[in-house]
């Protein structure tokens, strides 16, 4: 440390006894803080952003199985643990917390949220489930088994997605920033701007923490991103257009708000469960690199318990598709 050396030089120039005492005191204080360990609560280290931003790895989804999913569920959050699937559904008057049987889509347990709230992201912390609301600044804490309300958390801004990485909660609010929150106090510990190939990526929605990484849906987009929270860089771009196209063709709906949303990691075999808002199907998938493949074709290949998806060419592009990004009046945005 250079600071004590500078202080010692200044001390030599002091002539009066009182000034010497004061200077020695200051030196001791300086030395004390110089010897103290670096506070761990300081902002985490960020890499040099002058360095080139990485290009996300192009990925697609490999469908392993297809299961029924409640078409009335406006899916906002999915959480898996040991064969149990919890789901948070949104819309005012239709918001719920659910326990769902993955293979059949049957709703085994449900807690209705008051019509004043538009439920959003969901995360499990131990025996508790934390459920966000969109614009009412309140998170509900539920017992994961009984669905008993254990408490509420107030927060500022909007609530979109939520996941727990074993230590902290990661939250999205529709912007390009992920918020790292204390899992007990909900206090913000860090803010992580997210960028894809150097460009801010807004509308981060439902989240899934997997190890040190975070997977995120992007509102009204057909892709999922894998984010490194240490840098904010998108490291993988998973093209889910094969799912979106198939479900729209099969069920004949075209509402841009009924978009791909909902990610739950199944750690037992490193699969993911994904679905969408009002989607009648839930998919067991693996994310697979398509780099080096001649056609970039995603062919659902697993056994399907309910149906099979057509083969659809998944185009891996750096630029996110914009076909559903349309300008709508504010009233329509209340469907978020």
Report the candidate in 142, 138, 158, 139 with the shortest Cα–Cα distance to residue 150. Answer: 142
Least Å distance, CB 162 to Ca ion, is 8
Burial 203-237 (b: 16+ CB within 10 A, else e): bbbbbbbeeeebbbbbbbbbbbbbbbbebbbbbbb
Give the pair of three-digit tokens for residue 135: 């614009």
**Percent of residues in the chain assigned helix, strand, coil, to nearest 5:** 15, 40, 45
Judged by beta carbon, residue 77 or residue 232, the one nearer Ca ion is 77
Least Å distance, CB 207 to Ca ion, is 6
How many residues line the site for Ca ion (CB under 5 A)? 3
Give the pair of three-digit tokens for residue 221: 């987009």
Taking contact as CB under 5 A, which single stretch among the options 77-85, 106-114, 218-226, 293-301 is the one that binds Ca ion? 77-85
Question: Cα 99–71–201 angle (5° rounding)?
Answer: 85
Identify how many contiguous H helices and E strands the chain contains and give both numbers.
4, 24
Least Å distance, CB 36 to Ca ion, is 40
Judged by beta carbon, residue 123 or residue 312, the one nearer Ca ion is 123
Judged by beta carbon, residue 66 or residue 88, the one nearer Ca ion is 88
Judged by beta carbon, residue 78 or residue 192, the one nearer Ca ion is 78
Least Å distance, CB 107 to Ca ion, is 18
Contacts of 299 by beta carbon, 8 Å cutoff, 6+ apart: 311
Judged by beta carbon, residue 218 or residue 263, the one nearer Ca ion is 263
Least Å distance, CB 294 to Ca ion, is 33
The answer to the question of residue 236 lying near Ca ion (CB under 5 A) is: no
Site for Ca ion in 44-63 (CB under 5 A): none
Taking contact as CB under 5 A, which single stretch among the options 71-79, 107-115, 132-140, 233-241 is the one that binds Ca ion? 71-79
Judged by beta carbon, residue 218 or residue 316, the one nearer Ca ion is 218
Judged by beta carbon, residue 183 or residue 316, the one nearer Ca ion is 183
Least Å distance, CB 206 to Ca ion, is 6
Judged by beta carbon, residue 133 or residue 316, the one nearer Ca ion is 133
The answer to the question of residue 208 lying near Ca ion (CB under 5 A) is: yes
Least Å distance, CB 198 to Ca ion, is 27
Least Å distance, CB 123 to Ca ion, is 7
Cα separation, 218 vs 259, whole angstroms: 9
Taking contact as CB under 5 A, which single stretch among the options 41-49, 98-106, 200-208, 301-309 is the one that binds Ca ion? 200-208
The answer to the question of residue 173 lying near Ca ion (CB under 5 A) is: no
Taking contact as CB under 5 A, which single stretch among the options 23-31, 95-103, 208-216, 238-246 is the one that binds Ca ion? 208-216
Site for Ca ion in 261-290 (CB under 5 A): 263
The Cα-based distances of 60 to 30, 122, 262 in angstroms read 56, 25, 16
| Closest-approach residue to Ca ion (CB) | 208
Cα separation, 311 vs 21, whole angstroms: 82
Cα separation, 220 vs 236, whole angstroms: 18
Contacts of 66 by beta carbon, 8 Å cutoff, 6+ apart: 281, 282, 283, 284, 300, 304, 305, 306, 307, 308, 309
Give the interface with Ca ion as residue ranges (CB under 5 A): 78, 208, 263
């Amino acid at each position: 440390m250079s600071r004590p050396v500078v202080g010692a030089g200044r001390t030599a120039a002091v002539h009066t006894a009182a000034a010497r005492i004061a200077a020695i005191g200051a030196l001791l204080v300086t030395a004390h803080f110089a010897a103290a360990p670096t506070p761990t609560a300081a902002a985490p280290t960020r890499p040099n952003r002058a360095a080139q931003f990485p290009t996300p790895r192009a990925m697609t989804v490999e469908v392993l199985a297809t299961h029924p999913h409640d078409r009335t569920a406006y899916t906002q959050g999915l959480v898996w643990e040991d064969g149990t699937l919890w789901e948070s559904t949104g819309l005012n008057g239709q918001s719920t917390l659910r326990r769902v049987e993955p293979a059949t889509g049957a709703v085994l347990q449900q807690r209705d949220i008051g019509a004043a709230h538009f439920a959003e992201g969901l995360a499990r912390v131990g025996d508790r489930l934390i459920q966000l609301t969109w614009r009412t600044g309140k998170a509900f804490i539920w017992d994961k088994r009984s669905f008993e309300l254990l408490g509420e958390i107030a927060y500022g801004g909007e609530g979109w997605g939520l996941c727990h990485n074993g230590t902290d909660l990661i939250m999205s609010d529709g912007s390009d920033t992920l918020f790292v929150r204390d899992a007990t106090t909900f206090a913000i510990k860090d803010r992580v701007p997210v960028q894809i190939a150097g460009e801010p990526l807004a509308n981060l929605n439902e989240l899934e923490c997997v190890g040190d990484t975070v997977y995120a849906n992007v509102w009204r987009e057909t892709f999922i991103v894998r984010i490194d929270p240490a840098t904010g860089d998108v490291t993988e771009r998973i093209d889910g257009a094969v799912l979106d196209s198939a479900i729209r063709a099969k069920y004949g709906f075209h509402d841009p708000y009924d978009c791909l949303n909902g990610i739950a990691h199944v750690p037992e075999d490193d699969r993911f469960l994904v679905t969408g808002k009002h989607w009648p199907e839930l998919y067991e998938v693996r994310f697979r690199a398509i780099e080096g493949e001649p056609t970039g074709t995603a062919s659902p290949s697993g056994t399907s318990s309910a149906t099979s998806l057509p083969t659809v060419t998944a185009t891996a592009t750096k630029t996110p598709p914009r076909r559903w990004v349309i300008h709508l009046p504010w009233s329509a945005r209340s469907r978020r």
